[in-house]
């Protein structure tokens, strides 16, 4: 089996996908914009061959490189990056080289756009926020009459909290419409709540091979707009109803041999015309592993390896069904611009036995995630809260 892994070096955790694929007998062929000499020893020893492409946005260069690899090693079975930035191009290369596995551009597009993905949630029996695609001021005013202020506007395609607008009144709505927007925007009713996600890996029949529940108490949009600190946590044990909902969504999206990060909103209060406090509303589906170093966080919670499970799914190995544990893995992040009450030495003195990793984020992640993070593992919710408060308490 020949597997072309696009950008296997970023984020750095993805090298573990490569090593497990190799262990499963796969020829992993890497293409990236990092010179070979800078790759980790784990990557160098796991890749059958690595091709350096200085500008991976040049589709013609990438096609020439893939063509070289195909001529040398034979037909390509998979082309994947597991990275939101490259998903569209991955699909282009699959279609160009007639790769048998994975989504083609038209299949990906309807699953990536926030407006069209709502139909997949609907098929799974999951409610979503009411919306319109932004066109005219009149249409937006009529929408606000239906759902009330505030409303939330964001690009119909894309990920993250950049280029989003929380609109509180007609003045702000008119200002939004006066902007020279370069892409299609979706406008949704604003939901007061927090994000919880269903993450995992789907097998070749769209069945969930392994799954996790992540919770994000602070909205990423507020982390960016209000400069808040972020923390989030993951576990394998989850409410049965939520598990069943997640599996239905994976099936509705027809995800096969693929990682997923499916986000839901949990309402903090009743929302007229939509749901009651505590109801779970479908938000969006990301057809890749969760961002940043989160795949490592997921791996800390399970009794089996997240990365090995991915490799087993790719080659069709039998999956161990027992992945649940009592562990709760938490990422607590800080920003260098703030003075915190407790320094690194104090944190490690008090929680050292629980801390698994302490490091800084790459520049690309810092606007949304902060500058540094602590990964820690506990078995009780109260201990997670104590740790978060201690690490993020400011002077």
- Categorize the per-residue pLDDT at 161 as very low, low, confident or very high, splitting at 50, 70 and 90: low
Query: What is the C-alpha separation between 121 and 67, in angstroms, rounded?
Result: 37
Judge whether 277 and 191 are in contact, CB under 8 Å. no
Residue ranges, comma separated, of all CATH 3.30.470.20 domains in the chain are 193-392
**317: exposed, middle or buried (Cβ count in 10 Å: 0-12, 13-18, 19+):** middle
pLDDT of amino acid 225: 72
Helix/strand/coil percentages in the chain, nearest 5: 35, 25, 35
Judge whether 332 and 374 are in contact, CB under 8 Å. yes
Mean pLDDT of 15-39: 98
- Taking only the tens place, the pLDDT of each residue in 112-139 is 999 999 999 999 999 999 999 999 999 9
Judge whether 256 and 111 are in contact, CB under 8 Å. no
Mean confidence (pLDDT) of the chain = 95
Q: Which two tokens stand for residue 375?
A: 């990964």
- 2-111: CATH topology is Rossmann fold (3.40.50)
Mean pLDDT of 192-215: 96
Residue ranges, comma separated, of all CATH 3.30.1490.20 domains in the chain are 130-189
Mean pLDDT of 71-90: 97
Query: What is the C-alpha separation between 198 and 251, in angstroms, rounded?
Result: 13
pLDDT of amino acid 268: 93
- 193-392: CATH topology is D-amino Acid Aminotransferase; Chain A, domain 1 (3.30.470)
pLDDT of amino acid 113: 95
- 130-189: CATH topology is Dna Ligase; domain 1 (3.30.1490)
pLDDT of amino acid 102: 97
pLDDT of amino acid 221: 67
Query: What is the C-alpha separation between 82 and 343, in angstroms, rounded?
Result: 35
Query: What is the C-alpha separation between 33 and 54, in angstroms, rounded?
Result: 5
The dihedrals phi and psi of 117, each to the nearest 5 degrees, come to: -70, -15
- Taking only the tens place, the pLDDT of each residue in 301-332 is 999 999 999 999 999 999 887 888 999 999 99
State yes or no: pLDDT of 16 exceeds 70.
yes
Residue ranges, comma separated, of all CATH 3.40.50.20 domains in the chain are 2-111
């Amino acid at each position: 089996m020949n597997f072309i892994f696009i950008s296997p070096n970023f984020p750095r955790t993805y090298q573990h996908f490569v090593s497990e694929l190799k262990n499963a007998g796969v020829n992993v062929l890497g293409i990236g914009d990092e010179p070979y000499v800078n790759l980790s020893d784990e990557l160098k020893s796991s890749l059958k061959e690595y091709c350096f492409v200085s500008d991976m946005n040049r589709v013609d260069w990438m096609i020439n490189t893939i063509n070289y690899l195909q001529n040398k090693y034979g037909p390509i079975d998979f082309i994947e990056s597991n990275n939101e930035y490259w998903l569209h191009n991955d699909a282009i290369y699959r279609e160009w080289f007639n790769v048998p596995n994975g989504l083609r551009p038209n299949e990906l597009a309807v699953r990536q756009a926030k407006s069209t993905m709502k139909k997949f949630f609907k098929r799974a029996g999951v409610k979503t926020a009411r919306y319109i695609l932004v066109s005219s001021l009149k249409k937006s005013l009529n929408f606000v009459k239906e759902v009330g202020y505030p409303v939330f506007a964001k690009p119909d395609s894309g990920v993250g909290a950049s280029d989003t607008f929380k609109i509180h009144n007609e003045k702000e709505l008119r200002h939004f419409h006066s902007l020279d927007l370069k892409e299609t925007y979706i406008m949704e009713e604003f939901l007061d709540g927090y994000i919880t996600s269903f993450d995992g890996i789907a097998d070749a029949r769209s069945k969930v091979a392994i799954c996790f529940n992540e919770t994000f108490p602070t909205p990423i949009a507020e982390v960016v707009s209000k400069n808040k600190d972020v923390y989030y946590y993951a576990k394998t044990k989850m409410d049965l109803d939520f598990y069943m909902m997640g599996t239905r969504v994976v099936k509705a999206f027809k995800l096969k041999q693929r990682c997923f990060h499916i986000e839901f909103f949990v309402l903090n209060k009743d929302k007229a015309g939509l749901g009651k406090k505590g109801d779970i509303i479908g938000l969006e589906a990301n057809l890749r592993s969760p961002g940043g170093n989160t795949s490592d966080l997921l791996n800390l919670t399970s009794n089996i390896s997240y990365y090995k499970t991915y490799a087993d799914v790719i080659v069709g190995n039998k999956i161990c069904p027992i992945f649940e544990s009592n562990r709760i893995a938490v990422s607590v992040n800080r920003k260098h611009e703030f003075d915190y009450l407790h320094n690194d030495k104090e944190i490690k003195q008090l929680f050292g036995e629980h801390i698994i990793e302490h490091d800084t984020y790459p520049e690309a992640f810092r606007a949304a995630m902060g500058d540094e993070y602590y990964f820690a593992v506990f078995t009780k919710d109260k201990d997670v809260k104590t740790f978060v408060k201690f690490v993020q308490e400011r002077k």
